[in-house]
Structure 1
C-alpha cells in the first residue's frame, strides 16, 4: 500500500496533460482535468526506488516486459512527461548508471553492428524505398517520406555547392542513397564508409546494379582509418555514435580529410539545452555507446580545427515528423515483426520510435546541419544562402 500511495503522489505532477492510471489491484485514478490523452495500466508494481534513480531504464524495461501497458497515444504521453517540470523523467539521475563504454575501433564496430546488422530485411519493412535511416527534410507538409528523404539528400548536396568531377566522402554512409545520388545526379566521384557489413553488402549490390563501379565505392572500415582527402565531406547521423571522448578527434578527422577550401556538411542529433547527452535504456537496448552532444560542445570542437562554420540549420520538427511516419510504418508491419522477432523486441522498438518522436516534440533534443569550410568562412561559397534554395528548386525540392 505504501508503494501505491507513493505512485499516486508521483503521478499528480508527472504529466502536463490529463492521464488515467489503472493500478495492479484494479483501482483506477484520473490525474489532471479534461479528456485523458492515455491510460497507463500497471499490471504489477515497479520499484519506486529504481524509477527515481534511473527512470528511463526501469520504465523502459517494464514496458518491454509487459509490466506496464499504455492505451492511447504513447508519444503524447511521453511528451507530456517531458514537458512537466516535476516529472520523474526530468528528475532522473539515470546517466550515472551507464557503464563507461570504450570507443576503440573494435568497440565502435561492435556497437554499429549490434544496431544496423539486425538485418536489411528488418529495416526494409518500415523505412522508405531509399532505405534512409536519418532525419528527412519536408519541404511541404504533404511530402511522402520517400520524397522528404530525397529532399534531404539534395538539400545537403546543394548546400555543399558541389561541381561535377569533384570528390565526396560520406562518413557513415548507411545504405548508400547519398553517395549514389551524388554520383548519378551531381556527377561526383563518391565514396562511402561504414562499419556495418549489411550496409556494405547492400551498397555494393546497388553500385553493381546501376553500373556505377567507376564512380561510387564503399569502404568497410572505421572512419579513423581513412587517409585520402576529398573536396567535400558529408556525415549524416554519425557523430552520435562516436562517444563524448572522441568528438574532438572526429571533427579533427573531418578537417584532416577535407582539402583546403573544401566544404563539409555534418548532420546530427544535438542538444540545444544543457543536460545529459545519454539515456540508459537507449544505450543498453538500442544504441550501445551513444552520446548526444550539445550545440556548444560541437562548436567548441569545430573551433579547435581549421574548419569554419558557414551555416547552422535546426531541423527538429522534421525529425519529429520522420519518426512519426516510421512509427506508423512499424505499426503496419506489427504481425510480421512479432512473428520474426517476438513481442519484447516489438515493444522495445515501438517505445524507441515513439519516445524519440516525443523527445523532439518536447524540445529535449534537436537535429542540426553544420555547414563548414576548411579555411576562411564562405571562401568557396556564394555570398548569400539564396544559392541553396535556388538549387533545391532546380533539383525538385519545392
Structure 2
C-alpha cells in the first residue's frame, strides 16, 4: 500500500502531459488534466528505496526486464513519455549545484580502451542493421525533417569539411574516426593526407578494409591508438566527432590541450559533440549499460577548456533537433530488425538499446542535452578562413 502511495505522488508530478497508469494489481489511474494518449504499464512494483537512490538506473533496469512498458501515442511512445518527463523536470535539470555530485571515473588509457570496446565492438554486423549506408554513428545534418538518413549523414560530412575550408595536400587527423566515412571523404574528395584513430578493433579493421578497397594507402591510414599516445603532429586540420563525451570530466582539459598540441599553427579543428547547455552531467544507467565512463560536458565548461588550451573559437553551431531526428531514424531501423537482434543478443539487450535510442531522442527533443559543433583555430590568428560563413554554403 505504501508503495502505491509513493507511485501516486511520483506520477502526479512527473509529466507535463496527461497519462494513464495501469498498476500491477490491474487498477488504473489517470494523472494530469485532459485525455491521455499514453499508458504506463507497471507490471511489477519497483521498491521506492531503489527509485530514491537512483531513479534512472531503477527505471531503466525495470524497462529492460519488461516490468514497465509504455503504449499509445505516436510512433515513439517511450520517447514521447520521456520528453514530457524531461520537460517537466526542467527546473531541476538546470540546477548547476548538482555538478558537485558527479562521481569521478577512471579514464586511464587502458580503461578508456576497454570502455570504447565495450560499446563499439559489439560487432560491425550489429551496427550495419540500423545505421545508414555510410556507417556513421553521430548526428546527421538534415535539409528537412523527412530527408533520407544516408543523405543527411553525407550532408553532415560535407558540412564539417566545408567549415574547415580544406586545401589539397595538407594533413588531416580524425580523432575517433568511427567507421571512416569522414576521413575517407576528406581523402577522396578534398585530396588530403588523412589519418584516423580509434580504440575499437572492429572499426579499425573496417576502415583498413575500406582503405585497401579504395586503393588510397598512399594518403590514408588508420591507427589503433589513444589520442594521448599520438606524436606525429602537427596536422593542418583536425576533426573529432562524438569523441569528447568518452574522455571523462577529469580529462577534458587534457583532451583540448592535446588538440592544440596536434594542430599546426594557423590550423583549424572541428570538434562536434554532445553538450549540456545547463552544465555537465552523467547518467548511472547509461554509464552501466551503454557508455561506460561517459560524461556529457557543459557548454561553458568546454568553452573554458578551449580558451585555456590556447585555441580561438571561430564558430559554434547547435544541432539539437538534427540529433533528435537522427535517433528517430536509428530507432525505427533498430526495430525493423528487432527479431534478428533479439535472437542474437537476447530480450533484455534489445529492450536496453530501444530505450537508449528513444531516451536519447527525448533528451534532445526536450533540450535536456544538445550537440554543438565548435570550429576552433590555433594562433597565429591569420588562419585563412574566410571572413563570413558564406563559404560553407556556396
Query: Residue deviations 1:127-150, cap 9 Å, x none?
Result: 001000000001233321000101
CA distance in 2, matches of 1:373, 1:226: 20
Task: Find the counterpart in structure 2 of residue 202 from structure 1.
Answer: 206
CA distance in 2, matches of 1:219, 1:302: 25
Say which SS state the counterpart of residue 292 (structure 2) adopts. coil
- The answer to whether residue 256 in structure 2 is matched with residue 254 in structure 1 is no
Structure 2 gaps of 5+ residues are none
Say which SS state the counterpart of residue 221 (structure 2) adopts. strand
Which of residues 141, 146, 149 in structure 2 aligns to 1:142?
146
CA distance in 1, matches of 2:326, 2:119: 19
CA contact (8 A) 1:37 1:77 kept: no
Task: Find the counterpart in structure 2 of residue 42 from structure 1.
Answer: 42
TM-score (norm 1): 0.94
Cα–Cα, structure 1 residues 334 and 384, in superposed 2: closer, same or farther, change >3 Å? Answer: same
CA distance in 2, matches of 1:17, 1:224: 47
- The answer to whether residue 122 in structure 2 is matched with residue 118 in structure 1 is yes
CA distance in 2, matches of 1:378, 1:303: 17
Task: Find the counterpart in structure 2 of residue 393 from structure 1.
Answer: none
Task: Find the counterpart in structure 2 of residue 31 from structure 1.
Answer: 31
Task: Find the counterpart in structure 2 of residue 242 from structure 1.
Answer: 247
Say which SS state the counterpart of residue 125 (structure 1) adopts. helix
CA contact (8 A) 2:318 2:371 kept: yes
CA-CA distance at 1:16 after TM superposition = 0.6
CA-CA distance at 1:84 after TM superposition = 0.9
CA-CA distance at 1:86 after TM superposition = 8.3
CA distance in 1, matches of 2:217, 2:355: 40
CA contact (8 A) 2:267 2:383 kept: no
Task: Find the counterpart in structure 2 of residue 57 from structure 1.
Answer: 57
CA-CA distance at 1:349 after TM superposition = 0.2
Task: Find the counterpart in structure 1 of residue 18 from structure 2.
Answer: 18
CA-CA distance at 1:43 after TM superposition = 1.0
Cα–Cα, structure 1 residues 94 and 350, in superposed 2: closer, same or farther, change >3 Å? Answer: farther
Say which SS state the counterpart of residue 137 (structure 1) adopts. coil
Task: Find the counterpart in structure 1 of residue 5 from structure 2.
Answer: 5
Task: Find the counterpart in structure 2 of residue 396 from structure 1.
Answer: none
Cα–Cα, structure 1 residues 142 and 288, in superposed 2: closer, same or farther, change >3 Å? Answer: same
CA RMSD, 1 decimal:
1.9
Which of 25-34 and 193-202 deviates more? Answer: 25-34
CA-CA distance at 1:307 after TM superposition = 1.0
Task: Find the counterpart in structure 2 of residue 333 from structure 1.
Answer: 337
Cα–Cα, structure 1 residues 235 and 298, in superposed 2: closer, same or farther, change >3 Å? Answer: same
- The answer to whether residue 184 in structure 2 is matched with residue 160 in structure 1 is no
Say which SS state the counterpart of residue 232 (structure 1) adopts. strand
TM-score (norm 2): 0.95
